[in-house]
Structure 1
Amino acid sequence: MAASQVAERVQELHLDDNGRGPGSESPERVRNLNIVFIGHVDAGKSTLCGHLLYLTGNLDERTLEKYEKEAKSKGRESWKFAWALDLTEQERSKGKTTDYGVASFRTATKHITIIDAPGHKAYVPAMISGTGQADVAILVISARKGEFEAGFERGGQTREHAMLAKTAGVRQLIVVINKMDEPTVQWSEERFREICDKLAPFLKQIGYRPQEVSWVPVSGFTGENLREPVHPSTCAWYKGGSLLQVLDALKLPPRPLDMPVRMTVVDRFRDMGVCILGRVEAGTIRSGDRLLLMPPRLVVHVTSITMDAEEVPLAEPGDNVKLLVKGVEEDDIHSGQVLCAENDPVEATTTFDGQVMLVEHKSILTAGYRCIAHIQAAAVEVVFERLLAEVDRRTNQIVKKHPKFVRPGSTFIARLSVAQPVCVTAFKEFAPLGRFMLRDEGTTIGAGVVVRIPTAKQRSEELQSTTESGAKIASSSV
């Protein structure tokens, strides 16, 4: 997300000096919960986000009237709420989010940061970047006849987005069945159950347990069942809470406060100095701290911390923040780098072993295959140097060593390499830096976790062992 868009969004939402909109609750600092809105294009994600901002007092009447007037002039009156997060002319003219947008509001118990991810398949990399910053995902489904089916069937983004959220470590999922007011639906319980019955087995298949999934029918445009429960005269069969009530009831994930600092870099820009945007994954960052930017191991001095346009004394895990820093130039900073504790830096490597689940591929996969790996906010070309072992998905036991190839649907361990160093850790040691997703030709082909980072000595010994083994085979053949 561009810095200019962040500044414009703060101005358009009329946040006060403390980063709160009209009617927001007060002052004391509450823990942050990051929520990403995902789902197929045209499911109504941006409208839903904008209406939530309006109902929580973070989008005022004057600004909404302005959006409504501008949208009406383009013949798109129903897009007025979406324009709270879709800021560019391209997004507003086509009605398609192209980059993820960020805003926030408060509920009775939480400070919630919402991330509006793009739904079009052309912008999946931006969706991955947004989802990587989230604790909870809201999978938005259109109840309109034909639209749910288009998103859920092969080629739609509902399946891919749900799988990517799970792979990114998002453990809590809220399925919002949107557009329940639509003439082809009219708050039909039959349509709601039909969608739930088709979607639930798939979510279970990709790893979501039933207790991790909530189901909420809403209308993002009319606002029904967003803040207040839907009126029985409109929908007599739904007995659950409104979307905001469901969000309020969520448990905050554990925050690793006592670990060494780890903050993933999402973006950078210049605003009265060099600024870094990112999410704190572990530890606490205070104004005045010295941190290391990895790679290339540059010392960074934190001069101030800003969250939601408010300067704060410290940042904790789960906070999406802007750091004003000294000691580095803007060109030194790139998405995917990690700010870390000076005395306990994260490792940067060009080689790691990963356990991969190959979901989809046009043919067999062999050593030498190249694709794009998404590791946190970094997108890098990765090469499969060696296939080390094939693994039984049910038992996680090795069933075959050094296979010549693997097929779609298989799970295997491979040695992977990248041209430029990336910050990763073994998944068992620190999960947020131990996950990656694989994409090729615009399709997500697999997901994996880092098993280990081999040392130079280990790589040398393995190479020597392979060479000796090859020599013996050649000798016996002669």
Structure 2
Amino acid sequence: MQRNKNIEYDEDELYSDGEEEYGEEGGYSQEDKDNFATLTPVVRAELDEAGVPVTTQQIEEALWHYYWDVGKSVAYLKNSRTPREGQKEAKKEEKPKSKFDQAAEKAVGTRCPTVTAADWFKDTPWTNVPSDILGQLVPVTPEPPRIKLLGGSSKLAKLAEERRKKAAAAAQPAQAPTTDSTHSLDRLTKPKDVKENVAPAPKTEPKKYAIRRKRSPTPPPKEPTPPPEEPKEQLPSLRSSPSAFGRTLSSSSAQANGTRQMALHDLLGSGYTSNPFDGPSPDDTVMRAQDRKKTKAQQASNGLAKKTEALKIDATPAAPSQPKVRSKGLDVPSLWNEEKSKRKASAAFVVIGHVDHGKSTLMGRLLLDTGAVSQRDIDKYKKQATELGKASFALAWVMDTGAEERERGVTVDIAQHYFSTERVDFTILDAPGHRDFVPNMIGGASMADLAVLVVDANQLESGMKGQTREHILLAHAVGLRKLVVAVNKLDSTTPAWSKDVFQSVSAEVLKLLAQTGFKEDNVAVVPCSGLSGENVAKQPGGNSAASWVSKEHPTLLQQLEKFAPHSTSIDVVKKPLRLQVADVFRGGITNPLSIAGRITAGHVQIGDSVTVQPSGETATIKGVEVGGDGKDWTIADDIPTLHLVDIEAQHLRSGDVVCSSQKPIKVVKSVTAKVQALDSLLPQRVDIHVGRLHVPGGISHLVATEDAKGETLKKKPRIVKAGQKAVIRLALDDGVPLEDGDRVVLRADGSTIAAGRVEAISM
């Protein structure tokens, strides 16, 4: 097996294409020579002006290395030819020589030359020494020092020597003892003064000195004496004395070791009762002691609080509690029935359509032309928008009041505004057109009576592929049946106000509306221009290019007034209160907590006690506003602002239902719904939308499919195809307030897959 990797190179890889350029004489290509011919005189002129002499070769080398940069080449040549400041060799001042230097110089002059010993004694005459026996001095190389242990005769050396001696002695065989261990020859070497068979003189012992005692170590510094401990508070003992029954069980026998034991009660004369269960149990005693302790602590805290209150001389008095709001007990259905003929008609419409089709600008123009917004405000918005480079967004800023919306130029949440005509009071609900904010569009459409679909005459195709088609489906799904199509931006068509463009756009949109389920009598198409204002609230002039519009079509405002009237049944007004919260906010200093939403059933007045589901908290109605005006009561189909008290803000959120405390709405986690499938349905996870309420859940069962008449086609289908009607069961992750008749929209993966109504609920 081959372990080395074979790497083969092509000839094209070994040599780069750029090397052929430098194969000419001198190593420069023709392009380089042209650059030299052009730039060399420029560099030389600057160097001559600076007085720096250089050669042509040096200039070319500098230009070559600095990639034809004249400035860098000139700077390099100047620096290389001109000595830098501060680096010139300065002559050092001669310092006077010190006496030590002078003495050293003298010593150097008188020092003997270095010679060998043989040369030194070469010419020395030897007195009285024959010349034949004179020797010759030869220098000898000194012997290198022997390697010894550090420290010479150190303790380590001695220890090593003793170990060697012991090892040698152990290796020699033991010899028999002799009377005279001294050899005969060795006797001759003894000194004469040493006599045999004479006891040796005792050795003189070394002088003994008194042993110095070691000094005791310095005692450690004394640690600072700790401060005396504060006396601990003596807490009352919670342990009770044992009961008579316990003493009976724990006492020993009266006779032990043949002697009678005498107990304490025999001495004191306090015996226990004959029945051991007459006294209280230990648990009762402990509980009573704890109760007494709690009572004393509470009394002490109350006394301390009173003393603290007395010490607060400069303290401001506590704000008086707000008086409880009382209901006037009005008969709202009867009052509404009496004033019905005198009241002006009211309607709320939602503005839908694809993003950037001019919805907010069109509504800003409508508010300006109807007098709901002054020209001064528009001029202020225009100035602010111009500073951001968005001068055409001035009218849109009437509806888009948020900083994020104005910066991005996209509506994010539902914008609400009011305006009135001689016949109708209108509420505008401007819905976002971006696909990321479809849930907000669903919430706005669920609060409206009719819809205004804004279509850009120049970008119909992008709208059909975008949110125009989905918004039409959602408007029909939440129950809207009347729709006004505003064909916008006709002033920018080619040619301006082209009638053919308007007719082609109208035909395409009407076809889609008919397929969705809108009836022809409930749909109207109006040509207009929100930016210039033609045919919005005023008809265009007779001499303009839009003169044909006034002859064939009403204005947008006139069409809204035509579709606006709707009747509210007295039966709906008498039902229990149902209001879905669309927004929670602070109404002002006097109204710290306010909510807004549409009343779907019932009525409410100041002082009523209401329940908020699913939290179950109760609140009191402090104030009611409808269209910005204060009212004593409000009824179904209104979009009021309710000011609440006796409830915290954390118990309120968008999608909650404010209902009657006598008949609150139920909180459920499973419902059965009849839906129209817009896409294939399976038991799957979905997002369930009920107005402003968005909750995750899933399709748990496919119950059955139905035909157009409501008859069952197939029970327990495995799949529901797009376009079919089906009965399904929904399982919700959290409990939500729902009841029969509520409209639901099902979405999955960012698209709408089904819409319908709740048929039944289960707890």
**Matches of 2:663 and 2:617 in 1, distance apart?**
14
Paired residue type of 2:752: T
Using the TM superposition, name which of 161-170 and 176-185 deviates more.
Answer: 176-185
Deviation, 1:29, is 5.7
Q: Equivalent residue for 2:512?
A: 202
Deviation, 1:401, is 0.5
Kept in 1, the 8 Å contact 2:350–2:452? The answer is yes
Once the two structures are superposed, what CA deviation does each residue of 1:52-108 show, in whole Å capped at 9, x if it has no partner?
111111211221111111112222211110011112232222211111211110011
Q: Deviations over 1:367-411 (max 9, x none)?
A: 2x111011121000121111111122x232111001122233332
CA distance, structure 2, for counterparts of residue 264 and residue 284 of structure 1: 13
Matches within 5 A, 1:33-112: 33-112=347-426
Distance 1:370 1:162 in 2: 24
Matches of 2:412 and 2:731 in 1, distance apart? 30
Cα distance in 2, alignment partners of residues 280 and 189 from structure 1: 42
2:12 aligns with none
The residue identity in structure 2 corresponding to 1:387 is L
Match of 1:283 in 2: 602
Deviation at 1:185, TM superposition (A): 5.0
User: Per-residue CA shift, 1:9-36, capped at 9, x if unaligned?
Assistant: xxxxxxxxxxxxxxxxxxx863431111
TM-score by length of 2: 0.53
**Distance in 2 of aligned mates of 1:296 and 1:383:** 23
Q: What is the rounded CA distance, in whole Å, between the counterparts of 2:691 and 2:406 in structure 1?
A: 28
State whether residues 174 and 215 of structure 1, in contact with CA within 8 Å, keep that contact through their aligned partners in structure 2: yes
What does 1:63-462 correspond to in 2, within 5 Å? 63-144=377-458, 147-153=459-465, 156-233=466-543, 234-238=545-549, 239-255=552-568, 256-271=572-587, 272-361=591-680, 365-367=681-683, 369-392=684-707, 394-427=708-741, 434-454=742-762
- What's the CA shift for 1:252? 2.3
- 1-structure distance, mates of 2:709, 2:419: 43
Which of 407-416 and 214-223 deviates more?
Answer: 407-416
C-alpha separation between the residues in 1 aligned to 2:530 and 2:487? 10
One-letter amino acid of the structure 2 residue matched with residue 338 of structure 1:
V
Contact 1:263-1:278 at 8 Å conserved across structures: yes
8 Å contact from structure 2 (residues 439, 692) kept in 1: no
- Look up the equivalent residue of 2:693 and give its one-letter code: A
Name the SS for the 1:385 alignment partner: strand
Q: Contact between 1:293 and 1:299, CA under 8 Å: does it hold in 2?
A: yes
Once residues 194 and 142 of structure 1 are traced to their aligned partners in structure 2, the CA distance between those partners, rounded to angstroms, is 12
Deviation digits for residues 215-264 of structure 1, max 9, x if unmatched?
10001011111112233433343322111111122242232323222111
TM-score by length of 1: 0.83
Larger strand fraction of residues: 1
Residues 451 and 482 in structure 2, CA contact (< 8 A), matched pair in contact too: yes
SS of the residue aligned with 2:535?
Answer: coil
Q: Distance in 1 between matches of 2:354 and 2:491?
A: 19
Assess if the C-alpha contact under 8 Å between 1:230 and 1:242 holds in 2: no
CA contact (8 A) 1:366 1:404 kept: yes
For residues 183 and 148 of structure 1, the distance between their equivalents in structure 2, rounded to whole angstroms, comes to 12
Distance in 1, Cα, partners of 2:391 & 2:491: 17
| Contact 2:484–2:524 (Cα < 8 Å) also in 1 | yes
Query: For 1:125 and 1:203, how far apart are their aligned partners in 2?
Result: 21
- Contact 1:32–1:318, Cα closer than 8 Å, also in 2: no
Equivalents in 1 of 2:540, 2:520: separation in Å? 24
CA distance in structure 1 between the partners assigned to 2:727 and 2:359 by the alignment: 37
Between Structure 1 and Structure 2, the one with more helix by share is: 2
> 1:303 touches 1:325 (CA, 8 Å); kept in 2?
yes
Give the AA of the match of 2:579.
Answer: M
How many aligned positions are there?
413
Which structure carries more relative contact order (alpha carbon 8 Å, separation 6+)? Answer: 1
State the secondary structure of the residue aligned to 2:490: coil
Report the AA paired with residue 756 of structure 2: G
* Largest Rg, 1 or 2: 2
Could you say if the C-alpha distance between residues 179 and 380 of structure 1 is closer, same or farther in structure 2, counting changes exceeding 3 Å? same
1:177 corresponds to which letter in structure 2? Answer: V
- In 2, the alpha carbon distance for the partners of 1:186 and 1:448 equals 42
- Deviating above 4 A after TM superposition, structure 1's stretches of 4 or more consecutive aligned residues are none
Instruction: Indicate the SS of the match to 1:257.
Output: helix
**One-letter amino acid of the counterpart of residue 152, structure 1:** M
Q: Do the aligned residues in 2 keep the contact of 1:260 with 1:340 (CA within 8 Å)?
A: yes
Counterpart amino acid of residue 380 in structure 1: V
For the residue of structure 2 that corresponds to 1:34, the secondary structure is strand
- For the 8 Å contact 2:444–2:691, the answer to whether it is kept is no
Name the counterpart of 1:7: none
Q: d(CA) in 2 for partners of 1:87 and 1:274?
A: 21
CA pair 215-185 structure 1, distance change in 2 beyond 3 A: farther
Q: What SS does the corresponding residue of 2:548 show, helix, strand or coil? A: coil
Tell me the SS of whatever aligns to 1:288: coil
| Structure 2: gaps of 5 or more residues | 1-341
Q: Which amino acid aligns with 2:573?
A: L
Q: Deviations over 1:142-177 (max 9, x none)?
A: 012xx1110013xx1101001111111111100000
Q: Percent identity?
A: 33
